[in-house]
Amino acid sequence: MIALDQQRFRGAMPDQLTLQSRKFQLYSKDFSNVDQAVPLRLLYGQGRFSGVQVTPIFAFRSEAVEADEQKKNGSAPSSYRYWGTLPVAICHGVVNDDSQIELFEISNGETSIWSGSYTREDADSHGKVIISTTVGTIHLYFGSFDQDPSPILSNLEIDLGAGPVSIPTPAWKGVVWALLYNVSFGQQPVPPTLLFHIRRQVAVLPSTSVTEYTDAVVPEVIYDALTNKRYGAGIDPLDLDIDSFEEAAVATIAEGLMHSPMLESQQQLSSFVAEQLQFIDAVLYE
């Protein structure tokens, strides 16, 4: 049970439970049998951050910047422009049918390359939207559990010396990710560091499933961290007093006590919950 009442006794929170305990498995750079693994961001509310490259760069190409004379006399051009295609993982996706993911802006460093609003409702039958930016086309997948693999990646092949083979392409269900398709790298042979401004609302409590909020409702954050089986503790909701979380959520919404916590590495569940309880001056008790 959660209560906005410091006179209550704090319930015991097992220290061995680790939030964000499961890592997002990535393909290795040479597509060997050894996987790489990096933590996938866990966002509540809104945030602005870069994605994590999950495969090598595909369809990489370059073009000389210099005039035609240098090509005619055989001298090596001193400057090139580069383009490529690659997927980047952004953050954990939806929790249920009421969850919302919204993209506000994409920027290249401090330069905005697209702004507007796309949500899950705008996605096509594959679970994505196609965005035209000033550096190229980006396909954004909203992290639903029925999204399809990218047909672009599925149709690509790679030759490791034994002939062309298809690229293993998962759907990355439950993960918000973007395909940078033929995106300009500028005059560096490395992809740009694109920042995605995203809002994620888990909507696991009745009061939050009918209204959209920019920041996260803290009692809902705690409830999701305790019950989520994908990245949280996986506690049975029947073992929690959901009415107390709902009452606390309504009270904090009325008081405007909301913020946007984000995890980029593993953290003890007790520590994360304690931080959220302190923010709203609440206690969790048995």
pLDDT digits 0-9 by tens, 111-122: 999 999 999 999
Q: What is the pLDDT of residues 3-17, one digit of tens each?
A: 665 433 333 344 444
Strand (E) positions, 68-193? 80-92, 100-108, 111-119, 128-133, 136-142, 157-159, 164-166, 175-186
Cα 66 off chain centre by: 39
Check residue 50 and give its pLDDT: 92
pLDDT band at 147 (very low <50, low <70, confident <90, very high): very high
pLDDT band at 54 (very low <50, low <70, confident <90, very high): confident
Distance CA(122)–CA(100), nearest Å, equals: 12
Look up residue 75 and give its DSSP letter. P
Check residue 118 and give its pLDDT: 98
Check residue 6 and give its pLDDT: 41
Distance CA(199)–CA(127), nearest Å, equals: 17
* 215 C-beta neighbours (distance < 10 Å), count: 16
Distance CA(141)–CA(160), nearest Å, equals: 29
Cα 254 off chain centre by: 28
Q: Look at strands 128-133 and 258-259 and give their pairing.
A: unpaired
Residue 72 has pLDDT above 90, yes or no: no
Check residue 162 and give its pLDDT: 78
Distance CA(139)–CA(131), nearest Å, equals: 6
218-227 vs 242-255: helix axis angle to the nearest 10?
Answer: 150
Distance CA(154)–CA(109), nearest Å, equals: 30
70 and 77 Cβ atoms separated by less than 8 Å: yes
Q: What is the pLDDT of residues 242-278, one digit of tens each?
A: 999 999 999 999 999 999 999 887 788 888 999 999 9
Paired tokens of 251 = 């009270």
